[in-house]
Amino acid sequence: MSKKSTNKKPNTKVLMQRKHARRQWVSFVRMIRYGLNNFRRNAWLTIAATAVMTITLLIVFVSAAAQNILTDSVEVISDKVDMSIYLKTDTTQEQAGEVISELQKLSNTKNVRFISADDARKQTAEDNKSDVPVLDALNEANNKLPATLRVSLVDINDTSQLKEFSDNNETLKEYIHPDREPSFAGGRRDAIERITGWTVLAQQIGLIASTVFVIISALIIFNTIRMAIFSRKEEIHMMKLIGADKHFIRGPFIVEAIVYGFIAALFATGIGVGLLYLVREGLVSFGVDVTSTINIVIENLGFVIIGMILIGAIIGVISSLFATRRYLKV
């Protein structure tokens, strides 16, 4: 008898666990079903909440894309910009090689090119072949261009190492041009600084806009859930009377908010990708590198959509939790 009783106890415990798990699963499925039904009940509120959530997620998408586009553009222009250190006109490649080898030891130096005085003259003539006054000046015997070291930097905005090198390096002092200061500025560098400033500004504006619309979206969803609670006040009261678990009462509202975020994420991603393709030709004509950003989005579209859905779901869940906590009193 003792053996039979000991054999039955584990079986009874397992059965109880299975029943409990089954009840939890049934409750979970019912919460999802009720949440989806709630989503369809109030059409206008649903449309308003989804529309605001879509705008919010679209701003997040556009802000991230704009930041990446500006960062890529800065890198592309940075690769084309170099700093010039002017050497005496008669400096040879061999003599400049000593300076180049020391310049390349700097951590911020990417590449160093030597341009002789003759090559500089030919290049200037080629670049200004339609400018008669410049060509006449080049033809004067006493108008000699200096040899030049063109230095490409890893970080175009940090010229401190290069400036210290040009001021203190003994090898360079032997060959540096006495009448020409090194060029650590210029039109192209100004463009880099402007674009870098735009990048920072875009990040700040994007962050502010995203934060504002996230708050607005959360408030609208909060009020939508609150109105849904008021409209189903008696139903919720009956659920409490029959002993419904607080999570079961709150669950459908959370599901409803997640559905807002899910649908809005799909709309926002589709609109965002469409906008990128729409502005691509215009931005490329201004030299803005947008192609790499489009490629990144398309190649990782699944991850982008999942990320947008997660953001939308988090906004919805937080809003619904606050709404149910305050107005359901559960």
pLDDT digits (tens, 9 = 90+) for 53-102: 888 888 888 888 887 887 777 777 666 667 788 888 888 888 888 888 88
Q: How far apart are the C-alpha atoms of 220 and 137, rounded to whole Å?
A: 70
Whether 202 and 164 map to the same domain: the answer is no
Residue span of the structural domain in which 60 resides: 33-76+193-327
pLDDT digits (tens, 9 = 90+) for 192-219: 667 667 767 767 777 787 788 778 877 7
Helix 301-327 / helix 246-285 crossing angle, nearest 10 deg: 140
Whether 253 and 313 map to the same domain: the answer is yes
Q: What was the pLDDT predicted at 306? A: 92
Whether 58 and 197 map to the same domain: the answer is yes
Q: Which structure tokens are listed for 71?
A: 């960062």
pLDDT digits (tens, 9 = 90+) for 148-169: 888 887 777 777 888 888 888 8
Beta bridge partners of 148: 86, 115
158 falls within a domain: yes
Higher pLDDT, 211 or 309: 309
Q: What was the pLDDT predicted at 266? A: 92
Q: Which structure tokens are listed for 55?
A: 């705008």
Whether 101 and 197 map to the same domain: the answer is no
Residue 268: pLDDT band by 50, 70, 90 thresholds?
very high
252 falls within a domain: yes
Whether 202 and 323 map to the same domain: the answer is yes
Give ∠ CA 283-269-294 in degrees, rounded to 5: 35
How many structural domains are present in the chain? 2
Residue 305: pLDDT band by 50, 70, 90 thresholds?
very high
Residue 323: pLDDT band by 50, 70, 90 thresholds?
confident
Burial readout 134-150 (b: 16 or more C-beta within 10 A, e: otherwise): eeeebeeeeeebbbbbe
Whether 99 and 205 map to the same domain: the answer is no
What CATH number should be reported for the domain holding residue 116?
Answer: 3.30.70
Residue 141: pLDDT band by 50, 70, 90 thresholds?
very low
**What predicted TM-score, i.e. pTM, was given to this entire model?**
0.64
- 257 neighbors 35 (Cβ within 8 angstroms): no
- What is the pLDDT averaged over residues 247-264? 79
Whether 198 and 65 map to the same domain: the answer is yes
Q: What was the pLDDT predicted at 273? A: 92
- What is the pLDDT averaged over residues 125-147? 59
- 68 neighbors 293 (Cβ within 8 angstroms): yes
